[in-house]
Amino acid sequence: MKRIYVNEKWCLGCHLCEYYCAFANSGKNDMVKALKNITINPRIRIEEHNNVSFAVSCRHCEEPLCVKSCITGALTIKDGVISVNSDKCVGCYTCILSCPYGCISPSDQGAIQKCELCVKNAGGSPACVKGCPNKAIEWVER
């Protein structure tokens, strides 16, 4: 299965992936309008420290602890993609307790949010990958 992989050697720490993620999931057509005057809450996050930086987003684990732990059945895995049904989610954060990579976060609407590889938005393929200027984020079989 194609996964998102990051190469921290190539990461510039520019945070563009975060902006592309927020835009892709905003439901809006215009990036400027979508992101102007808001604090973005992206599903991919850059970690940085002492000149090292890298992006972190859902690994879409084969044995997903978040899905197994979800108390509502809102998190499911289908064809290798883990996604959340925000209508079912009550925001208990058991998935945040469970995810070994810290890739699930509260959404602004009360439920939780996570990378769904842009399968549910208009992007079709991961926006962070398309937006990364230095190919530090790839969506490939490995």
Partner 1 sequence: MNYVIIGNSAAAIGCVEGIRQVDKKGKITIISDEPHHTYSRPLISYLLLGKTDEERMKYRSDSFYEDKNVTAMLGVTVTKIDTDKRCVELEGEKPVKYDRLLVATGSRAFIPPMEGLDTVDKKFTFMKLDDAKALEDAINENSRVLIIGAGLIGLKCAEGINDRVQSIEVVDLADRILPSILDETGSAMVQKHIEDNGIKFTLSDSVAQFDKNTATLKSGKVIEFDVLVIAVGVRPNTQLVAQAGGAVNRGIVTDDRCRTTLKNIYSAGDCTESLDITTGQERILALLPNAYMQGETAGIDMAGGQKLYDKAMPMNAIGFFGLHIITAGSYNGEAAVIQSGNSYKKLVTADDTLIGYIMIGDVARAGIYTALIREKKPLSSIDFDLIKEKPQLMAFSKRERAKTLGGLR
> Going by DSSP bridges, is the β-strand pair 52-56/45-49 parallel, antiparallel, or unpaired?
antiparallel
Of the candidates 35, 54, 121, 139, which one interacts with partner 1 according to CB under 8 A?
Answer: 54
* Cα 103 to Cα 87: distance, rounded to the nearest angstrom: 20
Please report how many Cα atoms fall inside a 13 Å half-sphere around the Cα of residue 49, on the Cβ side.
Answer: 1
The runs of H, that is alpha helices, within 9-141 are: 16-24, 31-35, 65-69, 94-98, 127-131
The span of 3-11, 15-23, 26-34, 35-43 binding partner 1 (CB under 8 A) equals: 3-11
Judged by DSSP in three states, 19 sits in: helix
Is residue 71 close enough to count as binding partner 1 by CB under 8 A? yes
Per-residue contact string for residues 7-26; x = within reach of partner 1 by CB under 8 A: xx------------------
Is residue 86 close enough to count as binding partner 1 by CB under 8 A? no
| DSSP code for 97 | H
Is residue 30 close enough to count as binding partner 1 by CB under 8 A? no
Of the candidates 28, 73, 108, 122, which one interacts with partner 1 according to CB under 8 A?
Answer: 73
Q: Which residues bind partner 1 (CB under 8 A)?
A: 3, 5-8, 47-49, 52, 54, 56, 59, 65, 68-69, 71-73, 87-88, 90-102, 104-105, 142
